[in-house]
Structure 1
């Protein structure tokens, strides 16, 4: 059976650790030590999560945990027993953690605020490198916070783990030199994270838009209390609990309340567009309130603005139409952004975000080419 050292060694051979301390920390603080006795795997037939109990099936537990991929450690905010619907906490995959910590660029003596303790592995890695006294991690779920503290104690580590809303940061422990978020923001990055840092601080946070795939955002805090930076790579992380929404049920409700008011032809190949981060990042940043759910392998899009507007877009053979309802024409707006992206060819990682008190801007290629989100 594999172990953490074997996994880390294989990833090291692939060049996954440009910052050597991350590799050494992962060898000293094994991820498997943070996996609870019950983890969760996806059932391909139903899409639901099925419990894998270490005591009942240790081999299946090993297969689920001792691999480089993410491990779901909680579903449905801890309310499920054997079958669950929504993943609500996990052990991140090794590559993603290495990427985040490399972008964070931390050095001994610096202080880090972590948002989203989860099982506690990344807080432990940071504490191993920086010292317990320099790591403050915030977790909204009391059971997860308690579990992380217990594991830290068992391993001889003691970063500060607070139970609270990570969007509010940890004001009583500020200021910080870095912010490491493992829970994604969906629209606005909490300004509290910037307020609680020193000028020059680096903030690394996953962005999970309502449209398309997520990305890692790396911001640098300026002297004037703003922060700005680019999207640097593709990632997929669970959202901050206060920013989650159920787009599917929202779509159905608004579609029932707002009748369709006509249809237009669709010439785009939706499945290809959805797989292209250049297009999806453009739409997500130009129309940050638009949510997307795909069906039919990506050939059918359901769009909703969180209010009274919706669109059902279908490019399957013999269909090729968009039906829209509500005061906005969501597909027309999305179509216009797709055309803009197609014309200007802005790469998905040429986009950036600037955060100010009370305002947030997106931009393409340089901060001067910006629009308010």
Structure 2
């Protein structure tokens, strides 16, 4: 399995900045371990009967398919590895392509390092965005090329591809896009089925086949997401929870949001928001204007995805971190900063509830949604091992 080093913030190399970053990172890691321990305390509640059945079905099909596409989250290339493929007895030697999906949400420079790392380990790897047809076309071309190699150029045959991965990495979105690109005749367009795509993990329950190409005829088998039945690495677990691979209903959203804010506070991304008060400060975000263009999206105060709300969230986070006078290396003071940010974000999200518990949950859900859609920056939480980077340099 590709184990990653702990995340390292990319601060400037000045002694003061490096020291501050290291202290903040240390406090963030403490929250990560706490969240990971909470998940492990659920005693495998995320691994239901459907996952066990899906894993057995995948095991059965592995020897029968021509190619395996292992989909991972580009933000966590190591944490999102499909555990069954890491066992020597199940490794589809030479028949696997690792697909780093959601590359549009990850740090591009880190994604390039991961692709180079995979290549060094003689493993095919491609980064894609399942919502970009051009990106999926690149993947489909790679699959076709590999199939020609496997089938020795034979065109009158049938090839099968098994799509596997943990929950919520975008497998169904990928198969739908491949399916749409590869439809072979107008007569089939209304008849070919599509996979159900959801932002919630665990929606795919059965293995389904979708035709994506002809000459040779190529079918992709979409499989349910499967997590390991137990975890030993708390950092991996917390990252899986943050990116949405583990059902939110099993966890406290507030705890996950706290971990998210710890990451934001200990990375460099928030510094890009320094000039929000100057850049575009005169832009009006009125929600009552009647001179709005017919094609312009109506702006609602309660819609946290609106640009003016996201701008306010970013400004609050930048101001709070920049003006923080406490000790970043002290977990209690670092947690106090996060609690203050959660309270301040209530106003940015226009949340008004009597219950502080409801308020915290609402803030957490909206904040997590902004992160998971890339509105709070592009973070890669898993980094390639240090020893590889030294060799590559």
Q: Same fold (TM over 0.5)?
A: no
Q: When the two structures are superposed, what TM-score results if normalisation uses the length of structure 2?
A: 0.28
Q: Which has the higher contact order (CA 8 A, sep 6+)?
A: 2
Q: Which has the larger radius of gyration?
A: 2
Q: When the two structures are superposed, what TM-score results if normalisation uses the length of structure 1?
A: 0.29
Structure number with higher strand proportion: 1
Structure number with higher helix proportion: 2
